[in-house]
Amino acid sequence: MRYTLTVTAEQSGRQLGEILRQNGWSRRQVTSLKRTEGGILLDGEHARTVDVCREGQVITLERADSTSPDPNPDLRADILYEDGHIIVFDKPSGMPTHESHGHRGDALSNLFAAHCGGLTFRSVNRLDRETSGCVIVAKDAHAALTAAKTVRKIYCGVCEGVPEPKSGRIDAPIARERESVIIRCVRGDGKPSVTLYDVTEENGSSARCDFTLLTGRTHQIRVHMAHIGHPLRGDSLYGNGGGTLALCCREVGFTAADGREIVCRSALIPEL
């Protein structure tokens, strides 16, 4: 994967290594570049991290990506955004983000491999198999790091009943159910977990809510909504099941490699 940086007026006179660190490249990544033939170039010529750069010079970095899942071109998910370093998929419910035991060849990683052959699959955010919506995938390690530092996510779901108050904060620790590797529960010895919710629409028997996570626990929204007596519709683990889980990552925002602010919105919002 090739990555280019243009030296700014502010960076002029600084060493190349310092400029790389300012742009988020870790010591480990820089060491890997130095060991790669043609890994660091300045205006097309081999460069050292101690070389002094001048305004307008172009730094070219070449990374070799290592592992890629098997491609499956038969899988389908809309692409909401793509550039040379990032792609955002609108993942449908029922598709895992990563391969796992029992799910080989049917994951978003396999679709990515078909679309971006040879690249390592680096998901910046990960959704449960049943959850639909925006998944950011980086095409290189630096883009993954940059996006992960700036990512913003809003979830949308339909719950049973109408929460009161209509906007609130659920602050309840989440732990793994002792007899299960999958199911989570609210328990005093769990990890701190905070979810903000806001009812955006209701019909008397159910409500559509927006959710913002202040922590990132497994099944956090599902566990918290069940905890307050309003499980998500279609939740077979924490609610009454029946049908598709009504939960979607409806919006993501992040800073692209060139500094642009990118916002993507899912088309898979669950109906009330």
User: 83 lies in a domain?
Assistant: no
Which residue range(s) make up the domain with 212? Answer: 154-249
Q: Which of these three, 62, 78, 113, is where a domain ends?
A: 62
CATH number for the domain spanning 182: value is 3.30.2350.10
Measure the CA–CA gap between 86 and 93, rounded to whole angstroms. 22
In a domain, 134, yes or no: no
For 186, phi then psi, to 5°, come to: -85, 125
Whether residue 43 is contained in a domain is answered as yes
pLDDT in tens for each of the 272 residues of the chain?
678 899 999 999 999 999 998 888 888 888 888 877 678 999 888 899 999 999 999 999 887 555 567 899 999 999 999 999 999 999 999 999 988 767 889 999 999 999 998 898 999 998 999 999 999 999 988 888 889 999 999 999 999 999 999 999 999 999 989 877 789 999 999 999 999 999 999 998 999 999 999 999 999 999 999 999 999 999 999 999 989 999 999 999 999 888 889 999 999 999 99
Is residue 176, in this structure, part of any structural domain at all? yes
Considering its fold, how many domains does the chain have in total? 2
Is residue 112 in some structural domain? no
Mark 68-77 as b/e (b = at least 16 C-beta within 10 Å). bbebbeebeb
The last residue of a domain, from among 14, 42, 62: 62
Query: Rounded to two decimals, what is the model's pTM?
Result: 0.77
Domain annotation covers residue 32: yes
In a domain, 30, yes or no: yes
218 within some domain: yes
Which residues are tagged catalytic?
128
Where residue 11 sits, what CATH number does that domain have? 3.10.290.10
